[in-house]
Amino acid sequence: MPELSYREAVRDALATAMRADEDVFLMGEDIAEMGGSMGVTQGLYEEFGSERVRNTPISEMAIVGAGIGAAMQGMRPVVEIMYEDFLTLSLEQIVNQAAKHRYMSGGQIKVPLTIRTQGGAGWSPGAQHAQQLEAWLVHIPGLKVVYAASPADARGLLYSAIYDDNPVIFFEHRLLYPVKGDVPETLEPIPLGKARVVREGTDVTVIATGPLVHRALEAARVAGAEGISVEVVDPRTLQPLDTDTLVDSVKKTNRAVVAHEAVTRMGFGAEVAAVLQEKAFDWLDAPIERVGAKFAPLAFAPAMEQFVVPQPADVLAAIGKTLGRA
Amino acid sequence: MAKVEKKRALSDDRLRDFLREMLLIRRFEEKVEERFRAGELPGFLHVAIGQEAAEVGVCAAMEDGDVFGSTHRAHGHTLARGTHPNALMAELYGKIEGCSHGYGGSMHLYDVERGNLGANAVVGGGLPSLVGAGLAFKLRDEPRVAVAFFGDGATNTGTFHESLNLAQLWQTKTLFVCENNEWAESTPGWQHSPVFDDMSKRALAYDMHSIKVDGQDVEKVYAKASEALDYVRSGAGPVFLDVETYRMHGHYIGDPQVYRSKEDRDEAAERDPIVRLREKLQVSSEDWQTLEDEVHGIVEGAVEFAKNGTDPQPEDALKNVYA
């Protein structure tokens, strides 16, 4: 099985789709010669040319909107928004336009648009370059939302996102780009809406997204040494949510921790906790614990940033709480 | 060239067709006002009375395969591009037979078969997608044009500026039709734009070819729109069509227009494009009555059709969220 970095995996999904299909093309700021500010699209301009790897002005509304219009004509554009903080600039187009054309037209229109973006703390960019805003998007009917944590998932899910007939917001995490992992020999699309049991366990389920999957695995290893068996489940697609897999896991372990890097309060984890109490209340032996960022913008100074953002120790502490070992 | 010549030399018959279309739109919208006031129509409605020449002139110049996006004031564009009055009226009544099957309403009229990619209730919100459609036509080398209708108020939105910039930069097959009706809701042009008396200056900033036309003269609108569409279709780049028109009624149905003087409204009536065309064609009273009767029948038929339409089931609200 070949190994790819998360960055290479994203790039491979794009290149594979573009080689097979003229309708797939890219738009974004600095994605051509420079290869994207995160280096994800490196080499694609050389392979596919300027018509299909389109450097854009700094115009998030127009880039997303142009993607919507091309998608409505049956193309499959992939738009890159350099930082998800800048997604806020294009939210009108995403929320009022992309998400609603199909509905408002009574089913006449499809918008097969993929919007890739990235964020994430851990490198002291301050408050406007590392937010985790997925909770804003999962709240909007008509959008699909994906957050991949591993190279294999990034590749298989992005390919499916490109070929989904709905607008898909695809979140990547900056710190995951160099992370390597095994991927199938040839690209195997991973269906949207399917969670992955990353690690099996019996005492407690940690439902985690993005970098928290990795931090949960770290916590699980430490807990394992103390005789606690932790199951880690990654929803991968946040909308639609694979509630069955999450609920089945919690029914098995009877305890749940929900973990993401985004701010805890009103976060995606709150919805997961609500779903679990609705569907698995009688199986729960302890209150559901939530792990996420503290309620503050991201500070610049590393000590403050690290304090705000959830670390493996925070996941471990939450696991302990569910087991009454706080 | 022959085709172009033919298109632009308008016969009296063709102009009479335009008059009929304009009158149909006028009477349709007056009926909408009447039925809304009678409490029959849900929602929020905006008519474009006074702007019929702009709508009919541009829409008549478009070709099959062209697409467009409109605004919250979209009844005229929708009818002028061939959506049946019955389907439009049924939409306003919230019926399944409506052109958006009851999911859209007046501000979200769609008819994809006729190129209507949606009326938009966010001012300026629809423009970027017409740049994208024009980009798709360019990438696929298709002789089609994406037409973006918007008002003068939209020229102050971020989407407008980003869209013009991107379209010109990439030479997309997009026609920007600015229907300058001199009002952004209750705010007159002079209060909202430093270039309200010459909107084409907006295009100048992006080095975009612009064409100005008297929007109350359907013959001129048709000629200039044809010229603009030919230019865009040929791949020469996008065009900004600056159509100077006038909104004779309020922003929405029921708008008391406290912001508008009586003199202004009187002046508006003098700029009625339908009166102008009728005079130009010297339509006799008899012919006019025949036309009125025909249009009346169509509009009454549309109301009848809509009232007899099918109400969606409440749970239909959960359909069409995803493809």
CATH code for position B135? 3.40.50.970
What residue in B sits closest to A90 (Cα-Cα)? B159
The reported pLDDT for the residue numbered A1 is 83
What's the pLDDT score for residue B1? 41
Q: Is residue B319 part of a domain?
A: no
B170: which chain A residues are within 8 Å (Cβ-Cβ)? Answer: 54
In a domain, B314, yes or no: no
Mean pLDDT of the A176-183 span: 98
Q: What is the pLDDT of residue B250?
A: 87
pLDDT surpassing 80 at residue B7? no
Residue B28 lies in a domain: yes
Q: List pLDDT tens digits, range B196-223.
A: 999 999 999 999 999 999 999 999 999 9
What pLDDT, on the 0 to 100 scale, is given for residue B126? 97
How high does pLDDT run on average in chain A?
97
For residue range A84-138, list pLDDT tens digits in order: 999 999 999 999 999 999 999 999 999 999 999 999 999 999 999 999 999 999 9
Q: How many CB pairs under 8 A join A and B?
A: 139
On the question of pLDDT at B4 being above 60, the answer is no
Q: For B249-253, what is the mean pLDDT?
A: 87
Within 8 A of A57 by CB-CB distance, chain B residues are 162, 165-166, 169
* pLDDT for residue A167 is more than 60: yes
Tell me what pLDDT residue B46 has: 93
- Domain tally for chain B? 1
Residue B118: list chain A partners with CB under 8 A: 101, 104-105, 109
* Confidence band, pLDDT 50/70/90 cuts, at residue B270: confident
Say if the Cβ atoms of A141 and B321 lie within 8 Å.
yes
**The token pair that represents A294 in the structure block:** 């503290």
Q: For residue B2, is pLDDT > 60?
A: no
For the cut 90, the answer to whether the pLDDT of residue B313 exceeds it is: yes
Domains of chain A plus CATH, in order, are 3-182 (3.40.50.970), 196-322 (3.40.50.920)
pLDDT attached to residue A57: 98
Q: What is the domain range of residue B105?
A: 2-300
Residue B29 included in any domain: yes
pLDDT tens for each residue of B139-179: 999 999 999 999 999 999 999 999 999 999 999 999 999 99
Q: Which of B67, B170, B320 sits opposite A107 (nearest CB)?
A: B320
Flag whether the pTM goes above 0.80: yes
The whole-angstrom distance between A46's CA and the closest CA on chain B is: 18
Active site residue ranges of A: 60, 129
Asked if the structure places residue B240 within a domain, the reply is yes
Mean local confidence (pLDDT), B123-150: 98
Task: Calculate mean pLDDT across residues B289-316.
Answer: 98
Q: What local confidence, expressed as pLDDT, does residue B8 receive? A: 59
Q: Where are the beta strands (DSSP E) in chain B?
A: 67-70, 116-119, 146-151, 174-180, 183-184, 187-188, 209-214, 239-244
Contact A92 B122 (CB under 8 A): yes
**B219-241: per-residue pLDDT in tens?**
999 999 999 999 999 999 999 99
Cross-chain CB nearest to A73 (options B101, B136, B323): B136
B220 within some domain: yes
Cβ pair A102:B101 closer than 8 A = no
- Whether residue B129 is contained in a domain is answered as yes
- Choose from B161, B169, B322 for mutation: most chain A CBs within 10 A: B322
Percent above pLDDT 90 for chain B:
85
- Pick from A277-291, A297-311, B188-202, B256-270: least confident: B256-270
| For residue B254, pLDDT beyond 90 | no
HEC sequence for chain A:
CCEEEHHHHHHHHHHHHHHHCCCEEEEECCCCCCCCCCCCCCCHHHHHCCCCEEECCCCHHHHHHHHHHHHHCCCEEEEEECCHHHHHHHHHHHHHHHCCHHHHCCCCCCCCCEEEEEECCCCCCCCCCCCCCHHHHHCCCCCEEEECCCHHHHHHHHHHHHCCCCCEEEEEEHHHCCCEEECCCCCCCCCCCCCEEEECCCCEEEEECCHHHHHHHHHHHHHHHCCCCEEEEECCEEECCCHHHHHHHHHHHCCEEEEEEEECCCCHHHHHHHHHHHHHHHHCCCCCEEEEECCCCCCCCHHHHHHHCCCHHHHHHHHHHHCCCC
SS3 string of B65-82?
Answer: CCEEEECCCCHHHHHHCC
Give mean pLDDT, residues A218-239: 98
Q: Is B318 inside a domain boundary?
A: no
Q: What is the pLDDT of residue A326?
A: 53
